[in-house]
Amino acid sequence: MSAKTPATDAALINASLELAAERGGDLTEAIYARLFRERPEFEPLFVMDTNGAVRGEMLARAFDTLFDFIGERAYAHHMISAEASNHDAYNVPRTSFSRFFAIISETVRDACGADWSAETAAAWRNMLADLDRFVGA
């Protein structure tokens, strides 16, 4: 397993997530709108999710995983690898699975607005690069 996320990066990522939640509220709709604009072929995978509950649950798990990944890493690295494999059954390429976490970052950035700093961007970039190693594992 790789080293944990540096504390300074973890603090910046946490702060950006908190600020995004304050300013943007529930980011589920914005995140999935961005995903479906970029990868419209994924929208039909959610045809049965008429009330957004599945998308909300998937995003909640992604956030839980991110928090563990930048924290203790008690399970996140295994969860990321396992879910990337699980998504193979839905014909979701691993690069797209990985891209979903980047879409979260971009949506958080948009919600933070002018308070998104170069340091915050670097912290997310570093974490996403680290996370990518587990998507392909």
Contact 13, 122 (CB under 8 A): no
HEC sequence for 71-127: CCCCCHHHHHHHHHHHHHCCCCCHHHHHHHHHHHHHHHHHHHHHHCCHHHHHHHHHH
Residue 47 is classified by DSSP as T
Domain parsing of the chain, residue ranges: 15-135
Q: Which of 17, 20, 11 is nearest to 119 (CA)?
A: 11
Q: Match 């193979």 to its residue by tokens.
A: 88
Does the domain spanning 15-135 belong to CATH 1.10.490?
Answer: yes
Contact 119, 2 (CB under 8 A): no
CA-CA distance, 55 to 11, in Å (whole number)? 26
Q: Give the pLDDT confidence of 24-75 residue by residue, as tens digits.
A: 999 999 999 999 999 999 899 899 999 999 999 999 999 999 999 999 999 9
pLDDT band at 2 (very low <50, low <70, confident <90, very high): low
Tell whether the model's pLDDT for residue 137 goes beyond 70: no
Tell whether the model's pLDDT for residue 1 goes beyond 70: no
pLDDT band at 135 (very low <50, low <70, confident <90, very high): confident
Report pTM. Answer: 0.90
Residue 26 is classified by DSSP as -
